[in-house]
Structure 1
């Protein structure tokens, strides 16, 4: 499935997230961040073998329940519970895959790593976007060998620093985000 098709499948979920989203769409944890996490995750999953559907859902859900742009240690658990509410309504996953999505959302700010490659890929997809807040990801904080490659780090950090929104996401989600 192409990145464009993945983004199109996520559009109804993004619309649902935005119904109650408390923060600015163009904020540090908003739509442009989700879009880059999606692109990061899809790129990593090609090589890690991670479940791309779980990684894609993580991208749009992991920060969806933030209450502020700063310290919000419970946003991951809230995102996991929100994912549970949407499961069976806006998306379907087998139980084992949903458990990975739940764990990735729940732990993405607290855990350093996880034994499952799909959760590791979710964590790295998010961490590779730290350049949006002027933090260059450090390889010691990344889980997968792919994310630790200098070329991948540079690619992701350049996009994060410039707050690039992938074109395939802009087209599929129908949003214009000023970054």
Structure 2
């Protein structure tokens, strides 16, 4: 589980709107997608969960930002060196590679990395993109029920309860509702 202090430290570095297309609701959906996929595979759940909050954490804009994954990986390395992440060397290598290459369109590699990529790709509906089954890396992500579940949540901008229950965050327009 992503701790509240860790999410607060990551958010402190996030330069984009928390409510934006790559913001906290996206991270939370990617986290829930990743947890579901990790439960159906042998992926390392810790790495999958951390990917959800680091992969877009260092975006400089909401559009074309080709180096954002590398910056997110560097933030993860920094937090690991500062003791905010408790990962072994293999886990850190998987996390940083998953972040660095998550926009490269790759579909092969270590299972945990592929689950990370799938968890993000299943949330492409927020950008008007329906993920192609052939670009999903795992059988679990290609399952039609999972694709439909994740796709509907992405298209509607679903805000998972974990934003409040796990991270203690209420996004702006939720407060006024």
Q: Same fold (TM over 0.5)?
A: yes
2:75 aligned to 79, 82, 89, which one? Answer: 82
Q: Deviations over 1:45-85 (max 9, x none)?
A: 00111000000000000000000000000001111111100
Tell me which residue corresponds to 2:158: 164
Is this contact kept in 2: 1:10–1:57, CA < 8 A? no
Please identify runs of 4+ aligned residues in structure 1 that moved more than 3 A: none
Distance 2:108 2:52 in 1: 17
Task: Calculate the aligned-residue CA RMSD, in Å.
Answer: 1.2
Is this contact kept in 2: 1:50–1:121, CA < 8 A? yes
Tell me which residue corresponds to 2:4: 11
Q: Could you tell me the TM-score, scaled by structure 2's length?
A: 0.93
CA change 1:18–1:168 in 2 (3 A) is closer
Tell me which residue corresponds to 1:107: 101
Q: Deviations over 1:113-165 (max 9, x none)?
A: 23210000000000000011111111011000010011100000001111112
Q: Could you tell me the TM-score, scaled by structure 1's length?
A: 0.92
What does 1:15-54 correspond to in 2, within 5 Å?
15-54=8-47
Q: Which consecutive unaligned segments of at least 5 residues does structure 1 have?
A: 1-5
2:104 aligned counterpart, secondary structure: coil
Is this contact kept in 1: 2:163–2:170, CA < 8 A? no
Is this contact kept in 1: 2:105–2:135, CA < 8 A? no
Q: How many residues align?
A: 172
Q: Deviations over 1:94-123 (max 9, x none)?
A: 101110001001110114123210000000
2:91 aligned to 91, 97, 103, which one? Answer: 97
Tell me which residue corresponds to 1:118: 112
